[in-house]
Amino acid sequence: MSVLFRGGRVFTATGAFAEAVLVRDGVVAAVGTERELARLAPSHETVDLGGGLLVPGFTDAHLHPVQAGLERARCDLAEVFGLDAYLAAVRTYAAANPGKEWIDGGGWDMSAFPGGLPRREQLDFLDRPAYLIQRDHHAAWVNSRALELAGITRDTPDPADGRIERDPDGTPTGVLHEGAMDLVGLLTPRPTAADLDAALAEAEAHLFSLGITGWQDAIVGSYAGSDDQLPTYLSAARSGRLRARVVGALWWDRTRGLDQIESLVERRASAEGLDRFAAGSVKIMQDGITENFTAATLEPYCRCGGTGLSYVDPVKLKEYVAELDRLGFQVHFHAIGERAVREALDSFEGTDPANRHHIAHLQIIEPSDVPRFAALGVTANLQPLWATHHAQMDELTLPFLGEPRSSWQYPFADLLAHGTRFCAGSDWPVSDADPLQGMHVAVNRTEPGGSVHAGYPTAQTPFLPAQRIDLATALTAYTAGSAWINRSPAGVIEPGRPADLVVLDRDPFTLPEKDIWTTRVRMTFVDGVAVHEQRA
C-alpha cells in the first residue's frame, strides 16, 4: 500500500525541506514534490497535512516511562502545585484507595516549599505510611509512620550516596535525599508484572500522543525504590506489544565495581535479536542535583558550603568506562554539576566515539570543558525545558551557585559553536515529555506560555539568552540526533527509512518564535501505521 503525505511542508532532518513524502509498505519510498510522487504511485491513499509540518518521529534520549506510568496510576502530584493542592490530592487518593497499605506516588515540586523541603508532619494525618517521590526523583517525602517502619531515627547514619534531612537536634524531618530514599522506598509494596506491563502501555500511548516514536529509558534496573524494568521490556518486545523503538540504559550500581560487568553483558545479551528493544547502553549517575547540594561542583556552594557528591570515585570511573567501552557498550552519564561533567569527560579520554557515548543534563559546564565534547566525540544530551527562569531556578538554585557559575548553565549555543553533536530528551516524569515545549525553551529560553509555571514573575524573561539555539537545530536534536544515539533506523525522512512520522498541526518555522509552544501533534505514525490521531 502507498500513502502520499501532502498539503504542507516536510522537515527531513537532513538539512533540507521538501513538499511531499511517499510511503510504501511502512517505508519511506520517495521524497520530493507532490506531482513527482503522485506519478510514482498512481494508486495511493493520501494524508493531508493541512498546511502543517511533517517531521520524523521524535526520539526522547532520556526518560523514565515505566516509572512515569506507575506514578500516573498512583497518587499523582505532577498536575497540581502547592502544599494545599498536594494535600488535597493525597486525601482524595487515600479515600479512593482505603485498602492500600501505603500511600505512594510522587511529582511534588521543591519550589512549593520553604527551602524546597516539605515535612513529615504534613502527611501525619494519614492512617498509613506515605512515600512520595519528588518531581526530580532525587528525594522522597515521607511521614512519621514511614520513618518508624524503616527504623530511621536521629541516630541513623546517612548512607554514603545520600542524606537524611534533619532538624538541628538530628530528628529526621521527612525528606530523604538520593541514596537515602531506599531506606523507605524498598519497603513499599512491589508492583506486579501486570502493573509494570500496564505502566509501560500507558506511557507508550502518552508518548505516541506527543509524537515520540522511540526513546532511551535512562534507568533500567533497581533504583530509588523502583524495580528492574528489563523483564517488562523483554516481555513487551517479544510479544509485539512494544511498538516504539527503545534502548534500555542498564543501571550501573554505584555501590559495586567491575564485578557487575559480567551481569551487564548478560543483560545486554538477553535483548539480542529483538526488533523493538536493545540494551546496549549503561547509565552512570555521577552526581545529584543542585537544589539539594548533591550536584558535584568544583567550588563550594554559596551560603551552605560543600561541593556535592561524586557517586563513583573519579579514578575508578576511568577504569569502569574504559572496560565498558572495550566491550562495546555505550555509556550514558547523568552529570549536573561542573565537577561531575569534568569527571565524565575525563573518563571518556581514549574511548571509541563509535560507541556513541553521551552526557545528559549538563546544567553547569566550566567553560574550558565546553570544547572537549566535540574533541572527544561525546554527544550532549540536552533537557532544554529546564533552561528558564522558574521558581526552582530562581529561588533554590541561583542563590547557592553564585557567579560566575550561574552563567555557566545550559550552554547550548557554546556547545553548538564548538561542533558538539546534540540529542535531546525530557527526563519525563521529572518534566513534561512534550518535545515541542522543549524546543520552545531551547529557542526562547523562556517558559512555554501554557506551562504550569507560566505565571511566575520572571517566566518570560529569557534565561541566559546568549545560549539560545535555532529551531532547526533543536528539532534535529529531537529527531536525527536522538535516533543516532539509539542506533535507530528512524529519525530522518529519506528513502529506505522506516516511516516513523509526525504530522504537526502547524508549521512552527512560520510562527513567531514566542509561539512555538502552541504547536500540537495531529497524527503519529510508526512504520506507516497511525498510532495516534488527535481527537477533533
For residue 418, pLDDT beyond 60:
yes
List helix spans (H) across 18-123. 34-40, 65-73, 83-96
Per-residue CA distances from 493 to 11, 276, 422 (Å)? 8, 19, 18
Question: Sorting pLDDT into bands at 50, 70 and 90, what band is 161?
Answer: confident
Task: Name the residue type at position 347.
Answer: S
DSSP per-residue letters across 216-229: EEEEES-BTTBPP-
Distance CA 500, CA 527 (A): 5
Q: What is the pLDDT of residues 302-314, one digit of tens each?
A: 977 899 999 999 9
**Strand-pair category, 130-134 with 103-108:** parallel
**What mean pLDDT is predicted for residues 25-47?**
94
Q: What is the pLDDT of residues 96-120, one digit of tens each?
A: 999 999 999 888 988 889 888 999 9
Closest CA to 298 of 444, 402, 201: 402
**What mean pLDDT is predicted for residues 126-138?**
91
Whole-number pLDDT of residue 450: 62
Cell 539560545 locates to 468
- Asked if residues 237 and 507 have their Cβ atoms less than 8 Å apart, the reply is no
Go through the domains of the chain in sequence order and give each one's CATH number: 2-57+493-533 (2.30.40.10), 76-185 (3.10.310.70)
Distance CA 471, CA 49 (A): 20
Q: What is the pLDDT of residues 182-234, one digit of tens each?
A: 999 989 999 999 999 999 999 999 999 999 999 999 999 998 778 899 999 99
Whole-number pLDDT of residue 454: 55
**Residues ≥6 apart with Cβ < 8 Å to 2:** 22, 23, 24, 29, 41, 43, 44, 45
For residue 149, pLDDT beyond 70:
yes
Distance CA 70, CA 203 (A): 9
Whole-number pLDDT of residue 455: 64
Q: What is the pLDDT of residues 449-494, one digit of tens each?
A: 865 555 678 889 999 999 999 999 999 999 999 999 999 999 999 9
For residue 536, pLDDT beyond 70:
no
Per-residue CA distances from 249 to 125, 160, 330, 333 (Å)? 39, 24, 9, 10
Q: Which helix (H) or strand (E) holds 64?
A: none
